[in-house]
């Protein structure tokens, strides 16, 4: 049961980290515009004329705005990770509680068996003595 919890925990963490890695590997083209530095979120197409800049087929976003959105995504992913870790922590606490109950039951069973063995031994001694 403990191995299953650890395996599930690792799987959840792997999935979250893998999705975060994928979004961080996306490459964008950084551009300068009259409004300041920006980023092309689509495909950058080079111009055939060397004197003219290329153009962005997609959304152009200010670099500061992109930084804010990227930070928001990172915070959201960290929140997801925190929720997953909290769920894992709750499950492990529940498993530890159940394990404690099993250990107590095992101790009581062993004490009961020891008591019964002692009683049977006493009865055998009395029987042999008679």
* Per-residue model confidence as pLDDT tens digits over 83-123: 999 999 999 999 999 999 999 999 999 999 999 999 999 99
Using DSSP, state whether 80 is helix, strand or coil. helix
User: Cα(63)–Cα(36) distance, rounded to whole angstroms?
Assistant: 8
Q: Return the higher-pLDDT residue of 17 and 20.
A: 17
Give the model's confidence band at 5: pLDDT under 50 very low, under 70 low, under 90 confident, else very high: low
**Range scoring the smallest mean pLDDT among 3-7, 21-25, 99-103:** 21-25
Q: Where are the domains of the chain?
A: 2-129
pTM of the shown model: 0.51
| Phi, psi (rounded to 5 degrees) for 50 | -65, -20
Distances (CA, A) of 75 to 13, 20, 31, 123, 126: 15, 11, 26, 71, 76
Q: What is the pLDDT of residue 26?
A: 59
């Amino acid at each position: 049961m403990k191995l299953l919890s650890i395996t599930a925990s690792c799987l959840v963490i792997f999935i979250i980290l893998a999705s975060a890695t994928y979004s961080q590997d996306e490459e964008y083209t950084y551009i300068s515009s009259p409004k300041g530095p920006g980023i092309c979120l689509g495909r950058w197409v080079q111009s055939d004329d060397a004197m003219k800049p290329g153009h962005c087929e997609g959304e152009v976003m200010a670099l500061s705005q992109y930084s804010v959105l990227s930070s928001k995504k990172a915070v959201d992913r960290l929140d997801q990770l925190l929720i997953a870790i909290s769920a894992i922590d709750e499950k492990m606490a529940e498993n530890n509680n159940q394990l404690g109950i099993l250990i107590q039951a095992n101790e009581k069973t062993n004490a009961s068996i020891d008591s019964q063995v002692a009683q049977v031994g006493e009865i055998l001694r009395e029987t042999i003595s008679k």
